[in-house]
Structure 1
Amino acid sequence: MIQGKTRDLDGKLVALIGGTGFFGTHLAQELLARGARLRVCSRHPERAFQIKPLGGLGQTQLVAVDVTKPHTVAVALTGVDAVVNLVGAFAGDLDALQGEGAGRLAQAAKDAGATAFVHVSALGADAASDVPYARTKSEGEVAVLAAFPSATVVRPSILFGEDDKFLNMFGGLVSSFPMLPVFGPNARLQPVFVDDAAEAIANALTAPGVHGGKTYELAGPEVVTMGDLNRRIAKAAGRSPVLIELPDAVSAAIASLTGWLPGAPITSDQWKLLAAGNVATGTLPGIEALGVSPRPLGLFLDRWMTRFRKFGRFGVKAKAA
């Protein structure tokens, strides 16, 4: 458990819907450390077994839920004080999962008597987008606030952490190949540390009267380009691959011609999202308004990339005393 946390959620029953993934696990640790009783709800609750040891005995409950089946949601939300909706996907029936389906989930939480609801959207949510992921994320926000007007909506940027599938994917690539293409080298990102995003959500849950009905952008303190990110990861991993920065036209062509193939390096939708960038607009309150001072990527990168160095920890000389 996280030491030194104020137990401002002591005894509160919080349901995490779709809480078995990377973000859900980190958020669960934050909520448990603050005293919450946790009900982790997922189609595959067995994937949340690693969350059990993060809390005390009997503090965590795992429940099978399918958000497209309302009767399973109603049962899972019985007696809850607060709900966090983490459900998201890039494929499938996105309207049922993160569009109108999010609104139905918010209504179920309202009917169950929940006093706080946090909806996790995405920084790229855009009602005008032709990418189904971005469009339904935006539609989900509208549906949630219509059903639960005092809900808090958060739009996180790309989340990074020691156990993520973002930095570790690039770390694996730079350590495995002598030459790598960089799609959208000038695309701008503003990644946020996963534990900072988790703290922000927990803060929103503790003060729904302050944060309810508002939308926040959760972004880190620095904006980086894809090209710079690749170079920083390679340097931290002690690797020197040749990074081929592809012109946008070439990236778009590759995505269009090969994106439909299994294992394609980038799909058309992924390219569109990347080209649009992933930075805070500045027109909405940021993570600081939720009481969090975000930590930069550089604070962690050298330490986390050790595993991708040629000899790992054994390839680094100890500093002289």
Structure 2
Amino acid sequence: MASHQDTLVTVFGGSGFLGRYVVRALCRRDYRIRVAVRRPELAGHLQPLGKVGQIHAVQANLRYPASVEAAMRDSHVAINLVGVLTEGGAQSFDAVQAAGAAAVAKAAAAVGAAMVHVSAIGADAGSPSRYGRSKAAGEKAVLAAVPSATILRPSVVFGPEDQFTNRFATLARISPMLPLIGGGLTKLQPVYVGDVASAVADAVDGKTRRGATYEVGGPEVLTMREIMEIILATIERRRMLVSLPFKLAEWQALVLQFAPGPLKLTPDQVALLRSDNVVSEAAKSAGLTLEGLGISADSLEAIVPQYLWRFRAAGQFQRKSA
């Protein structure tokens, strides 16, 4: 494998859930990595992923373009992973996922750097959710500043530190029932975080098409009900799956948007569940998928037992039934 030790990659949001896997994938390919985050003093967990001196954390906030420009100084590639699932204070969808993405792209263009931008399946200017509209605005801003940028749109991402499978497993531990918004018929294509990180690293390697948008999904299309059943089977707990009509879920979300932890549900999240979140046929036919990059994706059932065991009644010591 060719050495990339002279290539400096700046990863915005590199200390987060997806970020740590992207940093690890890049370290394995010998890139020098600058991790740009709001709180660099909390990014120490990244250091063991690389060699001594390979990873360096700096302060940057996408809401402050000057800090983004400073973080991009002398960089060859910019990766933007920053996103928020819920809004809070100044961290709004538009500020982070639209204006923030624009700030990274403009800073990359100013130093002549290549760019990889991670968006989401469902990014659409006409989306019923503000999350989806802000993702679309971010993509548009990135391509306007860096037309050769690669955009990756993952479906829902799962892994040991996710806020998806862990959230429902936590609910199953404390509640006798789990809600199925819209009857649990919404289709998703869960993709393992390590596979998304490999796709990002491939884009940095130059294996993706310039200016193309890739849709990244796992090997299976599952309904929300099927995903809940897989989680419950993994943690070996029996819970009622209760169908919750969209209208009722919207009313509940008006209150639950202020709830803590796994109980939190926002009206925007309900709006997102009205549409399927799967790789399009157009992306498949164009080869703009994981398969098109030669990545064999891992399934939900293959990965979740490796980390959801902690939600079993006796954890890893749970007795197995015959």
Structure 1 length-normalised TM: 0.91
Say how many residue pairs are matched.
311
Amino acid at match of 1:43: R
**2:189 & 2:4 partners in 1: Cα distance?**
30
The equivalent of 1:211 in structure 2 is 209
**In the TM superposition, what whole-angstrom CA distance separates every residue of 1:115-171 from its partner, at most 9, and x where no partner exists?**
x20011111101012422111110111111111011001111111112222111111
Q: Is the 8 A contact 2:78 2:104 kept in 1?
A: no
Residue 75 and residue 302 in structure 1: after superposition, are their counterparts in 2 closer, same or farther (change >3 A)?
A: closer
Q: Is the 8 A contact 2:158 2:191 kept in 1?
A: yes
Q: Is the 8 A contact 2:82 2:96 kept in 1?
A: yes
Amino acid at match of 1:261: F
**Percent identity over paired residues:** 40
Residue 265 and residue 94 in structure 1: after superposition, are their counterparts in 2 closer, same or farther (change >3 A)?
A: closer
Matched ranges for 1:9-158 at <5 A: 9-89=4-84, 90-91=86-87, 92-114=91-113, 116-158=114-156
Q: Give the CA RMSD over aligned residues.
A: 2.0
Structure 2 length-normalised TM: 0.90
The equivalent of 2:255 in structure 1 is 258
The equivalent of 1:3 in structure 2 is none
Q: Is the 8 A contact 1:8 1:206 kept in 2?
A: no
Q: Which moved more, 1:95-104 or 1:238-247?
A: 95-104
Residue 318 and residue 243 in structure 1: after superposition, are their counterparts in 2 closer, same or farther (change >3 A)?
A: closer
- State the Cα distance separating 1:38 from its structure 2 match: 0.7
**1:47 & 1:183 partners in 2: Cα distance?**
36
The equivalent of 1:192 in structure 2 is 191
**1:261 & 1:29 partners in 2: Cα distance?**
35
SS in 2 for 1:277: coil
Q: What are structure 2's unaligned runs of at least 5 residues? A: none
Residue 270 and residue 317 in structure 1: after superposition, are their counterparts in 2 closer, same or farther (change >3 A)?
A: closer
The equivalent of 1:242 in structure 2 is 240
**In the TM superposition, what whole-angstrom CA distance separates every residue of 1:215-253 from its partner, at most 9, and x where no partner exists?**
000111111111111111111111111221223333233
**1:93 & 1:181 partners in 2: Cα distance?**
27
Residue 259 and residue 149 in structure 1: after superposition, are their counterparts in 2 closer, same or farther (change >3 A)?
A: same
SS in 2 for 1:300: helix
**1:252 & 1:94 partners in 2: Cα distance?**
19
Moved over 6 A (4+): none
Amino acid at match of 1:305: L
**1:169 & 1:7 partners in 2: Cα distance?**
40
- State the Cα distance separating 1:265 from its structure 2 match: 4.0
**1:173 & 1:311 partners in 2: Cα distance?**
17
**1:236 & 1:262 partners in 2: Cα distance?**
26
- State the Cα distance separating 1:196 from its structure 2 match: 0.3
- State the Cα distance separating 1:8 from its structure 2 match: 5.3
Does residue 304 of structure 2 align to residue 298 of structure 1?
no
Residue 262 and residue 305 in structure 1: after superposition, are their counterparts in 2 closer, same or farther (change >3 A)?
A: closer
Q: What are structure 1's unaligned runs of at least 5 residues? A: 1-5
SS in 1 for 2:166: helix
